[in-house]
Structure 1
Amino acid sequence: MKILIVGGSKSGKSMAAQRIARMLAARGSCPAYYWATMEPSDSEDEKRIARHLEARAGWGFETIECGRNTSAFSASVRGGCVLFDSVTALLANEMFPPPAQNADFSVDFAAGERVAAELSKIANAAMHFICVCDDIFRDGMQYDAVTESYRRALAFVCRQLASEFDIVVEASSGITRTIKGNALFLRDVPTFRTRIQ
């Protein structure tokens, strides 16, 4: 099963993904992987990573940290339940390489298509793939050309995954709403609040 969970900052999407992944891994008797993509750039990022590590402690996930160059990743998770957090960070890592590797600060405008293709390949190799993505499209603001290119690329990746995945869920204030697919099984997820439409 392939599930895409979208939501704004602090919407509960990561916790929802953890609960779903834990349940699916237990049902399928398969290993549970937490694929972390954030590459910290400041103390706030480090605090966020620490909070996420603490939140999933004891949940049975094997954490795999891979923030870029994911093309060979599918072999290591074949047949497992993968919680991928997040499309947003992976795309940023791919589009904007760190200064040590990118002296001229160039932007990889082809990253969106590559990320979508790689995630699709990895999702197809896993028994279950739960993918988290930030919803950054509703603020009504207009940004500089590079930021808008990133937002368009993220929207492209989300559309591609949503079209291929079995279930698409939106998280908001800790409550989820099913946008695509049959998510009745989510009622079995412990302490999971959902509105099924």
Structure 2
Amino acid sequence: MAQLESIIFITGGVRSGKSSFAEKLAADIWKKGPSGKLHYIAAMQPSDTEMQKRIKRHQEGRNQSGLEWKTWEKPVSIGELAEVFERNDVVLLDCLTTWLNNELFFEEDRWQKEEYLADLFGVMWEGIVQIAEKVRTLVIVSNEVLNEPVADNELVLQYSRMLGKLHQEIVSSAQNAYLVEMGIPIDMKGVVK
């Protein structure tokens, strides 16, 4: 697999500090390069009070950064945004696990259709590639949920398989990959330039 020099992958557990690290890293890369825009693709949907609080906290953090983030709220079909980005832009996608969840449940029970699952990986991967090939840097945040035992539940198994496959494909193609634990980023692949 050829490397997509523009991809940086960041993963970690819930509340590990991965989103804060990703925002800072994207902003630092943006500041160092030629003029372009700083974009944030938000896949999260406010499904309950806790999600609403998390979304608000993330928005406030970006607003307090003093940087002009252009936020795109796009829970599904994220690849469609590729056309709005330009060569010198830096894009942060937060987060892959939420995006996958949204795709699986956008329409009821479509995760049970084999042909849909077979196509979903390709659709998501192609969306990532379309954005990565268009911009200077694409930072992708994901959750590290694959370390726990997988329940004997077909939905959980399908989700885990798809997420694992996406993680492997992204990391094998990415220039850099980080695991964030307790707010500390651990360099798993590559060096930030």
The TM-score with structure 1 as length reference comes to 0.85
Structure 2 gaps, min length 5? 1-5
User: Partner letter of residue 23 of structure 1?
Assistant: D
Alpha-carbon offset, residue 113 of structure 1: 2.9
1:96-175 aligned at under 5 Å gives the runs 96-97=105-106, 102=107, 104-107=108-111, 108-109=116-117, 110-175=119-184
Structure 1 gaps, min length 5? 186-197
Alpha-carbon offset, residue 138 of structure 1: 0.8
User: Partner letter of residue 30 of structure 1?
Assistant: G
1:2-151 aligned at under 5 Å gives the runs 2-28=7-33, 29-57=35-63, 58-79=66-87, 80-97=89-106, 102=107, 104-107=108-111, 108-109=116-117, 110-151=119-160
Contact persistence 1:120–1:161 (CA under 8 A): no
Q: CA RMSD in A?
A: 1.4
Contact persistence 2:43–2:74 (CA under 8 A): yes
Alpha-carbon offset, residue 59 of structure 1: 2.9
Per-residue CA deviations over 1:112-138 (Å, capped at 9, x if unaligned) read: 332122112211111111110101011
Counterpart secondary structure, 1:53? helix
Counterpart secondary structure, 2:110? coil
Per-residue CA deviations over 1:132-171 (Å, capped at 9, x if unaligned) read: 0101011224241111101110111111111111001110
Per-residue CA deviations over 1:52-71 (Å, capped at 9, x if unaligned) read: 11111133211111111223
Contact persistence 1:21–1:83 (CA under 8 A): yes
Per-residue CA deviations over 1:51-97 (Å, capped at 9, x if unaligned) read: 11111113321111111122321111122100110111111111111
User: Partner letter of residue 12 of structure 1?
Assistant: G
User: Partner letter of residue 94 of structure 1?
Assistant: E
The TM-score with structure 2 as length reference comes to 0.87
Superposition misfits of 4+ residues, deviation over 4 angstroms = none
Between 1:138-147 and 1:174-183, the stretch displaced more is 138-147
CA distance in 1, matches of 2:146, 2:128: 21
Percent of residue pairs bearing the same amino acid type: 27
CA distance in 2, matches of 1:53, 1:138: 29
Higher RCO (CA < 8 A, seq sep 6+): 2
CA distance in 1, matches of 2:74, 2:136: 19
CA distance in 1, matches of 2:42, 2:78: 12
